[in-house]
């Protein structure tokens, strides 16, 4: 199970007998946990990216839709532009041309309808500065001065989407924490089993003058190597799974697989697994050795 | 080297040993004898600080183990070579590795001492078995391995608890010769055995004295042995 590079053991590491049922399960469980951890990391990263994209990509733009009888339309558009231009935070106001409006509707009604005969609403595109706009105040002013204008900053659907993405990211991080905690408990239990299995070894070592730290180190080393030995192939398997996620642009799973430097996080998984195993085994070994007379 | 001051041991069923005062001087050789259950093993365990006296004081190399933490006691143990009746080894390591174990535990590099290890195994007559695993050894071979392991750290004090427990007469004499040799090199030795014939056979070779445990008291035996 262990890669050859990790199997070569120091003499001090070899004082723990190599067998032991509980210890043999450590690489297997560690591989499974590493795979899950890689997937959880990818989900958390992807959700974070998606949240950012929706937030920064769509924030900063808004539209004002104006529906009015044809004879009042021009006046209302002028009124709305005046209101917008005097609103703090608005950097640009542009009226959508009839061609643009037509292009917007074409997918729904086809391109050959004489749209200019229909009483279509006018659409103003609004670009907001970094500080944003007081949407509530703007709505009140528009309602007072331009009765046919509706201000839409997309927040109605943008905010819940961003919140969902953030929630998914939090869930990913919580899952990651749970995987780490369960891994630590597993290593602690395996260490405990290994110590219990080797009480006579411990007694013999004590008699020849071995200190607790010497005995503990051998067990901790064994557990850390076994965990790392399982986590490396587990994380690799996770990376392979992620690499196979279909990445058609705009597809449902687009952006789930890590991109660029984010792949480095999958490398961190075995390292973190080894650190967690080291800490869990060390705490367990020292605590139990103090109890063995 | 080892001093007892009015030491008593009580495991909870009354005093097993009481009023034990003795001083083992450096370079001395003592046999420890007495009937089964008299407390020979307990006395040795007091010396190696495996148990603490219920009353009184034990001093080892001039220090009192009672005031020491576990690391301090581990440090003391490195100056003691222990040989038990049924010696425990790490069964997955070779004889040579088992003999080297005290070095490893003390933070030394066993590879640097490979000549010493080979010489020791030769001395106890196990040069050919250096790479054997402990479970394949006979009782006498195990005891000799234990003696080699006990002296690899060049200890000042050798404690042996029934080292000839289930070993034939010739091999018992051979083992005893090893202890006598170690004592001649200046090491203090305490060998517990209930085998009076063995004591008589070996006593002549050394200045050995005999401590006899009877009725919870320890006394020097006279010429009546
Ligand atoms: N840890 C212990 N807890 C309780 N009682 C003990 C303990 N160790 C020894 N005893 C008791 O103390 C008595 C003396 O034991 P000890 O092993 O010192 O005798 P011994 O002289 O070495 O005997 P033997 O010749 O059979 O080895 C025995 O009755 C034993 O049951
Ligand atoms: Mg005994």
User: From the CA of B194, how far away is ligand 1's center (Å)?
Assistant: 14
Domain count of the fold of chain B: 2
* Final residue in a domain of this structure, among B135, B154, B173: B154
- Cα separation, B18 vs A257, whole angstroms: 76
Give the predicted TM-score (pTM) of the model.
Answer: 0.76
Q: What is the mean pLDDT of chain B?
A: 89
The larger pLDDT score, comparing residue A61 to residue A194, is at A194
Same domain membership, residue B164 and residue B149: no
- Cα separation, A53 vs A80, whole angstroms: 30
* Final residue in a domain of this structure, among B129, B154, B179: B154
At residue A18, φ and ψ (nearest 5 deg) are -70, -20
Average pLDDT over residues A94-110: 76
Quick one: which H or E segment has residue B148?
Answer: helix B139-151
Contacts of A209 in chain B (CB under 8 A): 74-78, 80, 102, 105-106, 153
DSSP A19: -
Question: Is B116 inside a domain boundary?
Answer: yes
Tokens of A202: 């411990």
Same domain membership, residue B130 and residue B42: no
Those residues whose C-beta lies under 8 Å from the C-beta of residue A139, and which sit 6 or more positions away, are: A151
- Cα separation, B92 vs A51, whole angstroms: 56
- pLDDT category of residue A111 using cuts at 50, 70 and 90: low
Given A14, A200, A211, which is nearest B93 (Cβ)?
A14
- Cα separation, A255 vs A263, whole angstroms: 13
Crossing angle (nearest 10°) for helices A155-197 and A264-291: 40
Tokens of A164: 């969902």
Interchain contact, B101 vs A205, CB within 8 Å: yes
Strand, coil or helix: what is A167? helix
Q: Is the per-residue pLDDT at A7 higher than 60?
A: no
Average pLDDT over residues B6-32: 91
Q: Is the per-residue pLDDT at B7 higher than 70?
A: yes
Quick one: which H or E segment has residue A103?
Answer: helix A98-109
Residue of chain A whose alpha carbon sits nearest to that of B99: A208
- Ligand 1, atom 8: nearest CA belongs to which residue? B42
Q: Which of A209, A214, A217, A289 to mutate to test the interface with B (most CBs of B within 10 A)?
A: A209
Residue A70 in contact with residue A150, Cβ under 8 Å?
Answer: no
DSSP A63: E
Task: Give the position of tokens 């320890």.
Answer: B218
Same domain membership, residue B65 and residue B112: no
Interchain contact, B105 vs A214, CB within 8 Å: yes
Tokens of A31: 């591989």
Residues in chain A: 293
Chain B (154-213) residues lying within 8 Å, Cβ to Cβ, of chain A: none
CB of A207 within 8 Å of a chain B CB? The answer is yes
Alpha-carbon A235 to chain mean position: 17
Task: Give the position of tokens 């630590």.
Answer: A184
Same domain membership, residue B222 and residue B130: no
* Final residue in a domain of this structure, among B154, B180, B204: B154
Which pLDDT tens digit goes with each residue over B149-201?
Answer: 999 988 999 999 998 877 888 888 888 898 999 999 999 999 999 888 889 88
Q: Which of B202, B181, B102 is nearest to B146 (CA)?
A: B102
CB of A157 within 8 Å of a chain B CB? The answer is no
Residue of chain A whose alpha carbon sits nearest to that of B158: A208
Residue B1 in contact with residue B24, Cβ under 8 Å?
Answer: yes
- Ligand 1, atom 30: nearest CA belongs to which residue? B37
Question: Is B172 inside a domain boundary?
Answer: yes
Residue A245 in contact with residue A257, Cβ under 8 Å?
Answer: yes
- With a 6 Å cutoff on the Cβ, whether B41 touches ligand 1 is yes
Which pLDDT tens digit goes with each residue over A225-255?
Answer: 999 999 999 999 999 998 887 776 655 556 6
Strand, coil or helix: what is B55? strand
User: From the CA of B39, how far away is ligand 2's center (Å)?
Assistant: 7
Same domain membership, residue B218 and residue B125: no
CB of B146 within 8 Å of a chain A CB? The answer is no
Question: Is B49 inside a domain boundary?
Answer: yes
For ligand 1, pick from B40, B48, B195, B198 the residue to mutate: most ligand atoms within 8 Å of CB: B40
Task: Give the position of tokens 């289930």.
Answer: B166
ipTM of the complex: 0.84
Q: Which domain holds residue B144?
A: 91-154
Same domain membership, residue B63 and residue B14: yes
Average pLDDT over residues B130-148: 91
Those residues whose C-beta lies under 8 Å from the C-beta of residue A48, and which sit 6 or more positions away, are: A165, A169
Question: Is B85 inside a domain boundary?
Answer: no
- pLDDT category of residue A6 using cuts at 50, 70 and 90: very low
Which pLDDT tens digit goes with each residue over B108-120?
Answer: 888 888 888 999 8
**In the prediction, which pLDDT does B3 show?**
92
Residue A275 in contact with residue A201, Cβ under 8 Å?
Answer: no
**In the prediction, which pLDDT does A154 show?**
75
- With a 6 Å cutoff on the Cβ, whether B142 touches ligand 1 is no
- Ligand 1, atom 29: nearest CA belongs to which residue? B37
**In the prediction, which pLDDT does B71 show?**
87
- With a 6 Å cutoff on the Cβ, whether B35 touches ligand 1 is no
Lowest model confidence (mean pLDDT) among A6-20, A69-83, A193-207, B70-84: A6-20
Q: Where are the domains of chain A?
A: 4-55+159-289, 64-149
Strand partners, B55: B8
């Amino acid at each position: 199970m262990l890669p050859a590079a990790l199997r070569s053991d120091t003499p001090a590491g070899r004082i723990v007998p190599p067998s032991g049922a509980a210890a043999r399960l450590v690489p297997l469980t560690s591989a499974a946990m590493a795979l899950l951890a890689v997937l959880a990391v990818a989900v958390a990263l992807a959700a974070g990216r998606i949240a950012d994209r929706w937030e920064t990509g769509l924030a900063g733009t808004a539209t004002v839709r104006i529906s009015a009888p044809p004879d009042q339309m021009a006046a209302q558009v002028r009124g709305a532009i005046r209101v917008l231009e005097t609103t703090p935070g608005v950097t640009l106001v542009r009226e959508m041309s009839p061609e643009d409006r037509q292009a917007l509707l074409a997918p729904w009604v086809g391109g050959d309808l004489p749209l200019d005969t229909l009483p279509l609403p006018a659409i103003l595109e609004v670009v907001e500065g970094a500080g944003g706009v007081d949407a509530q105040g703007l709505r009140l002013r528009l309602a007072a001065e331009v009765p046919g204008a509706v201000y839409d900053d997309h927040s109605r659907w943008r905010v819940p989407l961003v919140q969902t993405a953030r929630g998914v990211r939090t869930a990913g991080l919580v899952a990651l924490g749970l995987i780490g905690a369960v891994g630590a408990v597993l290593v602690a239990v395996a260490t405990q089993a290994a110590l219990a299995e080797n009480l006579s070894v411990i007694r013999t070592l004590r008699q020849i003058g071995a200190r607790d730290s010497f005995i503990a180190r051998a067990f901790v080393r064994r557990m850390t190597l076994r965990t790392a030995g399982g986590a490396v192939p587990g994380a690799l398997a996770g990376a392979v799974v992620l690499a196979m996620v279909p990445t058609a642009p705009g597809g449902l799973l687009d952006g789930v697989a890590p991109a660029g430097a984010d792949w480095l996080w999958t490398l961190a998984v075995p390292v973190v697994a080894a650190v967690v195993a080291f800490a869990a085994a060390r705490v367990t070994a020292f605590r139990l050795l103090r109890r063995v007379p | 080297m080892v001093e007892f001051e009015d030491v008593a041991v009580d495991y909870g069923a009354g005093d097993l040993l009481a009023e034990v005062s003795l001083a083992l001087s450096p370079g001395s050789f003592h046999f420890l004898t007495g009937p089964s259950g008299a407390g020979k093993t307990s006395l040795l365990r007091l010396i190696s600080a495996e148990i603490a006296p219920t009353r009184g004081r034990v001093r080892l190399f001039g220090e009192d183990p009672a005031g020491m933490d576990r690391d301090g006691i581990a440090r003391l143990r490195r100056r003691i070579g222990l040989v038990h009746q049924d010696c425990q080894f790490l069964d997955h390591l070779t004889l040579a590795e088992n003999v080297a174990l005290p070095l490893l535990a003390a933070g030394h590099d066993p590879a640097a001492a490979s000549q010493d290890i080979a010489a020791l195994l030769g001395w106890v007559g196990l040069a050919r078995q250096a790479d054997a695993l402990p479970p394949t050894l006979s009782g006498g071979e195990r005891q000799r391995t234990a003696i080699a392991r006990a002296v690899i750290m060049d200890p000042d004090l050798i404690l042996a608890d029934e080292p000839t427990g289930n070993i034939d007469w010739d091999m018992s004499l051979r083992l005893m010769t090893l202890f006598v040799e170690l004592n001649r090199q200046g090491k203090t030795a305490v060998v517990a055995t209930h085998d009076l014939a063995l004591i008589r056979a070996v006593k002549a070779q050394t200045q050995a004295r005999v401590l006899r445990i009877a009725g919870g008291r320890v006394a020097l035996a006279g010429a009546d042995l």
